[in-house]
Chains A and B, each alone.
Chain A
Amino acid sequence: MTQTIPQSVEYVRILPEIVLSLFGMAIMVLDPLVNERSSQKLLGFIALIGSVAAIAATLYQSQFSGLGFWGVIKVDGFSTFFHVLITAITAVVILSSFEYMQVQQIRAGEYYALVLFGAVGMCLMSSAVELVLIFIALEISSISTYVLAGFRRRAAISSEASLKYFLLGSFATAFFLYGVALTFGATGSTSISLIAQALRSGPIPVLAYAGIAFMFVGLGFKVAAAPFHVWTPDVYEGAPAPVVGFMSTAPKAAAFAVLLRVMFEANAPGRLWLIWVAAALSMTLGNVGALVQQNVKRLLAYSSIAHAGYLLVALATLPNHGVPAAMFYTASYAAMNVGAFAVVSHLAGAGERYVTLDDYAGLGRRSPLVAATLTIFLLSLIGIPMTGGFFAKFYVFSAALQANLVGLTIIGVLNSAVGAYYYLRIIVVMYMREAREELPEIPVSPALGAALAISVAATLYLGLLPGRVLEYASRSAAELLH
C-alpha cells in the first residue's frame, strides 16, 4: 500500500456520499434559521433534492469505475446498483414523510438530515471493499437509524423501539467488529480481495471460520434474519411508519451488499450451512409469526424477516446465479415494501392510532385508490405473477435449484404459500369487511401520491419487464466475481 495523495477522480468515486453529506449538513444549518411552520416543507424539499442529486452523482460516477483511497473504495456495477437503489429508496421515503410529519406534528429538521446521513453510511457500505471501512459505514448508517426509530419521542413505544434497537444493534455491531478482528488474525488483512487471496492460497485457518461466522451474526442482525430477528417486531411497531419503510429496505440492501461481497467475493469458507440454517429459520419463523399479528406494522415486520430468509436462500447458491438473484430481490423488495409502508403511514393518523387490521376494514370502499395500491404491494409480497415480488422469488428459487438445493427450495415455496395467507388477510379486510366506525377519508397529498406512484410503477415494471434489471445485475455480478 503506497501512501499517495488521492487523485481528484477518487473523490468522484465517493461523490454520492459527498453530495448526501453536504445536503444533510445544509439542513442542519438551516434548521434553526427557518421558522417551525415552514421548516417542514422547505427542509424536506432540500432533502429530496439532495437524494435526487445523489442519484445523478451515482450515474455520473458510474463512468469512473475503479478503486479509490488506497483501495478501500471500489466503484463498479455492483456498487452503482446499490447506490441507485439506496438513494432512490431515500427519495421515496422523504416523499412519503411530508404528510406523515405534518400529521404527527413532529419538528422535521434533523429528521431529514438523519435520513440523508443514514443513506451516506449505506451507500458507503455498498462500495467499501475493506472491512474496517465497512464497519465505519455500518456504524454511520446504524446510528442514524437508531435515532430515527425514536423520532416519535412523545410516544413511549417509539422510545422503547429506539432503545431496544440501539442496545441490541450495538451488541451486533460488536460481533461484526470481533469478526473483522478474527479474520484479520486469520488472513493478515482487512481488504476483501487480499482475504480472498489468503483463503484461496493455503489451508483455511479455523480462525477464519469463526471470523466469518461472527461477521454473519452482525450482518444477520441488520437484515433481521433469524435467529437474530427478535428485535424486529418491537422496533418496527414503535418506530415512525416512514422510518420503518426506510429501515426495512435501505440498510437491508446495504447489509446484503456487504454480505454478498464478503461471502462471494472473499469466497468465505463454511458459508453454505450457516446461511442454509439462517434462511430456513428466517422464512419459517417470519411467516409463522406473521400469521397471528393484528397490528399491520408488526405483521410487516414478521414479513420482512421472512423476506430476509428468501434473500438468504440466494446467498446459499452458486455465485453466478445467486448474486443477480439477490440483487434483483433487494430491488423489488424495496419497491413493494417502501410502498406498503407509505400506505401505512398515510393511514396511521395522528399518534399512529390506526395501524391495526380492524382499522383497514372497508378501506376498499372508503378510499378505493389507496386500497388498490396497497393491494398491488401485498400481491407482490405474496409473489403473484406480474409483480416484482414474483420474479424476485422466481430467480432466487431457480438459482437454488441450479445449485441443487432442493430441500431449501421446498421450504421456500411452502413458506411463500403460507405467507400468502396473512397478506391476503389484509386484502380481505380491506375489501370484504365493513368498517366498524366511520373513519374519515384522508386525502392523499401530492408528495405521498408521487411516492406511491413511483413504488407501484417500480413494482409493476420489475414484474412485467424484469429483463433489463436482471441483465444489469448479472453483468455486475460477473464483474464482481471476475
Chain B
Amino acid sequence: MNAGNWSPIILTLVTFIPLAGALLLVSLPRRDRDIRVFSLVVTLFTFALSLHLPVHFHRAQAGFQYELDRAWIPTPNIHYHMGVDGISMWLVVLTTFLTPLCVLISWKSIHERVKEFFIILLVLETALIGVFVALDLFMFYFFWEATLIPMALLIGMYGHGRKVYAAVKFFMYTMIASVFMLAAILWLYAKVGTFDFVTIQNAIRSGQVENFASAAQWLFLGFFIAFAVKVPLFPFHTWLPDAHVEAPTAGSVLLAGVLLKMGTYGLLRFNLGLFPDQARANAWWVMILALIGIIYGALVALVQPNMKKLIAYSSISHLGFVVLGIFSFTQAGLDGATFVMLAHGVSTGALFMLAGILYERRHTYEISEFGGLASSMPIYASIFLFVVLASVGLPLLNGFIGEFLVLSGAFQNRPIYGVLGVTGIIWSAGYLLWMYQRVFYGEITHPVNETLPDLDPRERIALLPAAAAALVMGVAPLLWLNAIDPAVQTALAPFAQLASKVVGQ
C-alpha cells in the first residue's frame, strides 16, 4: 500500500476507530465474553493502525506530519485540523499500546456492567488520542474536556472504596482548572480570529496580536493552571492519590500512563509554543514547583502503607522530572522530558497492572498484608522486579535514559536544579525497592498468601508487552529520540538565544 494515500486520513482513523467500536458495542448483546473479545480486537486493530505513524514518519523533518485540515464550523472559525510531530506521535502510540493491555487486565476483574465498561474505555481512548493529534485549539479543548467524563465514570462506577468522592474530586479539579484555559483560548480567538495552532503561533511571533504584551502573562497562567492540575504539579496534586487508589486497574493505567501526559504535553506544546517569553520569565518558580514535586512526591511515597498510593505518589515525583526537563529549555532536557513521559507511561502502567493483579487475588493494596510472595508467585515476582528496576532508572532499561537527559538539561540550566533533581532518583530507588522487599521477601506472614496462584497466561500476555517495551526503550532509545529530536528543536527555536548562551558558558 502506498503510504502517501493513507497519510491524510490515518490520524482520523486512529482517533475514531475506538469510538466506532464503542458505538458498535452499544448494539451488541450483553454476552460478556463476546464484548471483551470485541473490545480487544478493536483496540489491537487501533494499535496496529497507529504503528503506521512511526513507520512512515519522516524523522529528519521538523513540523507536523500526517496533517489534515478541513473547515468544520464556519462561525466561529473552527477547523478539523489534525497532525502530529515527533512528540505527539509517540504519545498517540503510547495510548494505543496501553489500551489493549487495559482490556486484558480488566478481563475478569470487571464482571458487572461489562458492556458499559468497555464502551467507556473505548470512548476514553478516542478522546485521549484526540488530545494529542488536535492542532486546532478548539478541537484540543473539545477532546481535553471529553476525556473527563469517561474517566470520572470509570472511577465512579468501577472503582472501590470512596469511589464517588474520588470521581467527583477528579472531575471538579480538572474542570475548574480548564475553564481558565478556555478563557485564554477564547481571548486568542477574539484577537486572532482563528483557533489554528500554527496560525496563532505565527501571529504571536510576528507581533500581530493587539494587546498581547499586557495579556500574555495571564494567558500563560490560564493555560498553565489547566495543565498543572493535570500533571499534577505540586500543590495541585491532591486529587491524584484519591483518584488512583479508588480507580479500577484499567483506569489507573490510563490515568497514570496517558492522562497525566496530557498536562505535560500541553505545557510543552502550548505554554512553550505560544508564550516562550513568559515561559522563560516564569521558569524559575515552575522549576521550583517541579523540584518540590519530585522530592515531596518521593518522600510521601516512601511512607505509604498502600501499594497503589505509593505508585500514585511516585507518579507525582516522575512527572516532576518531566516538568523540570521542559522548563530547562535545553535540547537534552526536552528530549529527556518527552522520553520520561513515554517511559513512565509504560513502566507505571505496568506497575498499576501488577498491583491490580494482586488486588484481584487479595482485595487489598496494603503492603503489610503481603510478604514473602516471591516463593508463592515466582513469575509474578520476577516481572515485578523487572518493572521496578525499569522505574527506578536502572541503565539499559527505559527509566534511565529519560531521567539522565532531564538531569543533564537541568544541570545546564542551573547546577542546583540538577543536584536537587538527582536526589529524586535516589528516593525512587528507596521507596520502590523497599516496597519490593516488604512484599516479596522474608517469611510469609499471612497464611492466605501461601496459596496465591501465580500469573495465568492472560495476565502474562498483558504484562509481557510492557516489560518488553521497557527493555527495548532502554536498549535502543534512538528509535524514539530521533523522531523526538527535530520536534524538540522546533519547540526550542524561540529559546535558541538562551540555549547558545548556556552552551557558551
Residues of A within 8 A of B (CB): 365, 379, 384-386, 394-395, 397-398, 401-402, 406, 409-410, 413-414, 416-418, 420-421, 424-425, 428, 431-433, 465-467, 470-471, 474
Chain B CB within 10 Å, residue with most, of A410, A417, A433, A471? A417
A413→B146 contact, CB < 8 A: no
Given contacts A384-B146, A385-B145, A431-B156, contact A398 B179 (CB under 8 A): no
B183→A409 contact, CB < 8 A: yes
Contact size range, B:
20 to 34
Q: Which B residue sits closest to A402, measured CB to CB? A: B190
B146→A465 contact, CB < 8 A: no
Chain A to chain B contacts (Cβ below 8 Å), 23 pairs: A379-B149, A385-B141, A385-B142, A394-B76, A395-B76, A398-B76, A398-B189, A398-B190, A401-B186, A409-B183, A413-B180, A416-B179, A417-B176, A421-B168, A421-B172, A424-B152, A424-B171, A431-B153, A431-B156, A432-B163, A466-B73, A467-B73, A467-B75
Question: Bound complex: CA of A397 vs CA of B175, how far in Å?
Answer: 17
Question: Bound complex: CA of A467 vs CA of B78, how far in Å?
Answer: 10
A409→B186 contact, CB < 8 A: yes
A471→B186 contact, CB < 8 A: no
Partner of A413, one of B142, B168, B182: B182
The 5 A-B residue pairs with the shortest CB-CB distance in the complex, in nearest-first order: A385-B142, A413-B179, A417-B176, A401-B190, A432-B156
Chain B residues 171 to 198 lying within 8 A of chain A, measured CB to CB, are 171-172, 175-176, 179-180, 182-183, 186-187, 189-190
Question: Bound complex: CA of A398 vs CA of B153, how far in Å?
Answer: 30
Q: Which B residue sits closest to A384, measured CB to CB? A: B145
- What residues on B are CB-neighbors of A431 within 8 Å? 153, 156-157
| Min C-beta distance of A284 to chain B, whole Å | 15
Question: Bound complex: CA of A432 vs CA of B156, how far in Å?
Answer: 6
Interface string of B133-169 (1 = CB under 8 A from A): 0000000011101101100110011000001100110
Q: Which A residue sits closest to B159, measured CB to CB? A: A432
Chain B residues 289 to 321 lying within 8 A of chain A, measured CB to CB, are none
- What residues on A are CB-neighbors of B189 within 8 Å? 398, 401
B180→A471 contact, CB < 8 A: no
B457 touches A (CB below 8 Å): no
A424→B168 contact, CB < 8 A: yes
Further contacts, 7 of them, CB under 8 A, given A409-B183, A417-B175: A386-B146, A401-B190, A413-B179, A418-B176, A424-B171, A431-B157, A474-B75
Question: Bound complex: CA of A424 vs CA of B173, how far in Å?
Answer: 13
Q: Which B residue sits closest to A465, measured CB to CB? A: B73
Question: Bound complex: CA of A402 vs CA of B211, how far in Å?
Answer: 13
Question: Bound complex: CA of A385 vs CA of B146, how far in Å?
Answer: 7
Question: Bound complex: CA of A397 vs CA of B75, how far in Å?
Answer: 14
B74 touches A (CB below 8 Å): yes
B75→A420 contact, CB < 8 A: no
A414→B75 contact, CB < 8 A: no
B163→A471 contact, CB < 8 A: no
Interface string of B342-384 (1 = CB under 8 A from A): 0000000000000000000000000000000000000000000
Q: Which A residue sits closest to B163, measured CB to CB? A: A432
- What residues on B are CB-neighbors of A385 within 8 Å? 141-143, 145-146
B142→A386 contact, CB < 8 A: yes
